[in-house]
Amino acid sequence: MTKSSTLVPLLIIGALFSIFGFVTWINGALIPFMKTINELTTTQAYLVATASYIAFVVMALPSSAILNKIGYRKGMSLGLFIMAVGALVFIPAAEARTYWLFLLAIFIQGSGMTLIQTAANPYVTILGPMESGAKRIAMMGIANKVAGMLGSVIFGALLLSGIDDVNAQLKAVTGVEKEHLLDTMSDSVFMPYLVMAIVLFLFGILINKAPLPHVEAEEEDKSEDSGVTTKTSILQFSHLILGVVALFFYVGVEVIAGDSIIAYGLSLGMPAEQAKMFTSYTLFAMVGTYALGVFLIPKYLSQTTALKLSAIF
């Protein structure tokens, strides 16, 4: 493929990375919001992140099977439709102010994101020369984190503005007045998630019609010299196992930083107007490192050297 032939597909996939980045990183604002409207403990509030990321564990293998059956493009489109359904479930959850419904909505959205990412990540790596695959992933990471910054700012403003005053009022009221205050705050998610559902649904239709080429990974060398024929199990590929372990810890650190920092700031007594920006600051720092990847790989650093340096520092 030439650069010109991959530009439009890369822009489309970049838009996809932006979409699930936007949805992923609003969890930082959702956690303190859910804690207030559902009167939760800190542990219970963090089930927001659990519901989102447990979907990746539960749905990863089913997503692979789905993609093998319907292909990358239809799989990404289906993932967007599933995310739209999850956004719609937020509406009855807000009306009933029922926490398990909120968690179900988040899990559904996480399932859609799992399907999209299972398709989008390998698609990006093989949409061009393999030696610059890390560079393309870094570009997608920038799109993801910039959209995450935007989502965090927007939902922080929509959900957390005035939350300090609400928490203070909740301590002074009881009964019907308290329920009315909580219901009013809960209803603030109605319009944002309705708009989100519409956008996700429309983009799902566009992806299904988009000019995304059918691409396949390079054929494996099946000669005896390659050593491939000696492998009888996926567990025999040590670099794969170590990569999974590395990703496990990386994602854990990334999520702790992005999803916890607003709640952490609030727990230290910082005003919500200040704390609601913390996730965006975290993602801004991540964008800088992704930009380094785009600039350095593969012109100045090989993918292998970049991995080694990342592991050390």
Which domain CATH number covers 104? 1.20.1250.20
- Model pTM score: 0.86
What pLDDT is recorded for position 2?
56
pLDDT at 222 over 50: no
Question: Which range marks the domain in which residue 194 is found?
Answer: 3-214+233-312
- Does the residue 223 lie in any domain? no
**Residues 276, 141, 205, 102, Cα dihedral to 10°:** -40
Q: Which amino acid is at 150?
A: L
Mean pLDDT is lowest, of 46-55, 119-128, 145-154, for 119-128
| More confident of the two residues 5 and 209 | 209
For helices 27-37 and 278-296, the axis angle rounded to 10 degrees is 160
Question: Structurally, how many domains does the chain consist of?
Answer: 1
Q: Running DSSP on this structure, what letter comes out for residue 229?
A: G
Structure tokens at 78: 């289906």
Residue with tokens 């239709």: 205
pLDDT at 223 over 50: no
The per-residue pLDDT for range 247-287, each reduced to its tens digit, is 888 888 888 889 999 999 999 999 999 999 999 999 998 88
- Does the residue 227 lie in any domain? no
| Closest of 114, 94, 5 to residue 54, by C-alpha | 114
| Closest of 123, 136, 131 to residue 305, by C-alpha | 131
Residues 6+ apart with CB under 8 A from 40: 34, 99
The per-residue pLDDT for range 81-137, each reduced to its tens digit, is 999 999 999 999 999 999 999 999 999 999 999 999 999 988 888 887 777 787 888
Residues 6+ apart with CB under 8 A from 266: 32, 272, 275
For residues 208-223, give the mean pLDDT.
63
- Does the residue 221 lie in any domain? no
What value does the mean pLDDT of the chain take?
88
What pLDDT is recorded for position 96?
93
What pLDDT is recorded for position 151?
94
- Does the residue 176 lie in any domain? yes
Q: Running DSSP on this structure, what letter comes out for residue 313?
A: -
CA distance 239 to 134: 16
- Does the residue 222 lie in any domain? no
Going by pLDDT thresholds of 50, 70 and 90, the confidence category of residue 228 is low
Structure tokens at 1: 């493929």
pLDDT at 71 over 70: yes
Beta carbons within 10 angstroms of residue 162's beta carbon: 13
Spatial contact of 95 and 182, defined as CB atoms under 8 Å apart:
no
Backbone phi, psi, residue 46, to 5°: -75, 0
Cis amide bond preceding 32, omega within 30: no
What pLDDT is recorded for position 58?
94
Could you give the maximum distance between any two Cα atoms of the chain, in Å?
Answer: 76
Structure tokens at 80: 């967007």
Residue with tokens 């965006």: 280
